[in-house]
A and B are shown apart, each in its own frame.
Chain A
Amino acid sequence: EAGVAQSPRYKIIEKRQSVAFWCNPISGHATLYWYQQILGQGPKLLIQFQNNGVVDDSQLPKDRFSAERLKGVDSTLKIQPAKLEDSAVYLCASLDYLAGNTIYFGEGSWLTVV
């Protein structure tokens, strides 16, 4: 079974530029998450989708971050304009209800804002 796919793996941009990350969850997983993990901290939930609907985006900085999952499968997270403090790894994950609510992470997209 293919895992959660993310791209790009690494991105370096200047502050005020924009960036987009893509995620394709495990086939059949209706719930998809985007987490932000800053070095030395635990992952912080940015947004949770159930199919193509948003379940929770309370911690998404909506003035600069946006995310969509239009067809309920793959998802895109965008940052515009980026700030230095956005440097982090952006982890996409999907949830398997049949496996006791186990979530599976992609390898992450590492963002450095300079």
Chain B
Amino acid sequence: RKEVEQDPGPFNVPEGATVAFNCTYSNSASQSFFWYRQDCRKEPKLLMSVYSSGNEDGRFTAQLNRASQYISLLIRDSKLSDSATYLCVVNPRGGKLIFGQGTELSVKP
């Protein structure tokens, strides 16, 4: 089993749609969790951290379920500019960060 596994993509959605990505992790002792965004041929950039209580940043909502070892990212009212690859990132310990394979999102007009 992979340490971090994401929904296979790509997701093709119309503008204004709501889309959700899921991610599971294998190490139950993992300490912190993140979503990164990566544009085509660019480096990954932090989108948001994921907190146990769930957190929201504008149109983006992240949830963590420690019991089931999964993380989710919800994007509401999708924009064309949201088209990118979304990477789930888990810190199992000591600053080590493990990336999922990424889920590609394409938002169409």
Binding site for B on A (CB under 8 A): 31, 33, 35, 41-45, 48, 50, 55-56, 91, 95, 97, 100-108
On whether A50 and B42 interact (CB within 8 A), knowing A100-B32, A101-B32, the answer reads no
Task: Please tell me if the beta carbons of B102 and A42 are within 8 angstroms of each other in the complex.
Answer: yes
A-B contact pairs, 6 of them (CB 8 A): A45-B98, A91-B43, A101-B32, A104-B46, A105-B45, A108-B43
User: B residues within 8 A CB of A35?
Assistant: 99
Q: Considering only CB atoms and an 8 Å cut-off, how many residues of chain B contact the other chain?
A: 21
Most buried by B among A104, A105, A107: A105
Residue of B nearest to A102 (CB): B46
Task: Please tell me if the beta carbons of B96 and A55 are within 8 angstroms of each other in the complex.
Answer: yes
Binding site for A on B (CB under 8 A): 4, 6, 32, 34, 42-46, 49, 87, 91, 94-102
Task: Please tell me if the beta carbons of B96 and A101 are within 8 angstroms of each other in the complex.
Answer: no
Task: Please tell me if the beta carbons of A42 and B97 are within 8 angstroms of each other in the complex.
Answer: no
- The binding surface of chain A is classed by DSSP as strand
User: A residues within 8 A CB of B100?
Assistant: 42
Question: Which among B43, B87, B96 is the interface contact of A45 at CB below 8 angstroms?
Answer: B96
User: A residues within 8 A CB of B43?
Assistant: 91, 105-108
Task: Please tell me if the beta carbons of B99 and A42 are within 8 angstroms of each other in the complex.
Answer: yes
Cα–Cα, bound, A45→B99 (Å): 8
Nearest 9 A-B pairs (CB), nearest first? A42-B99, A105-B43, A42-B101, A43-B99, A42-B102, A31-B95, A42-B100, A102-B46, A107-B43
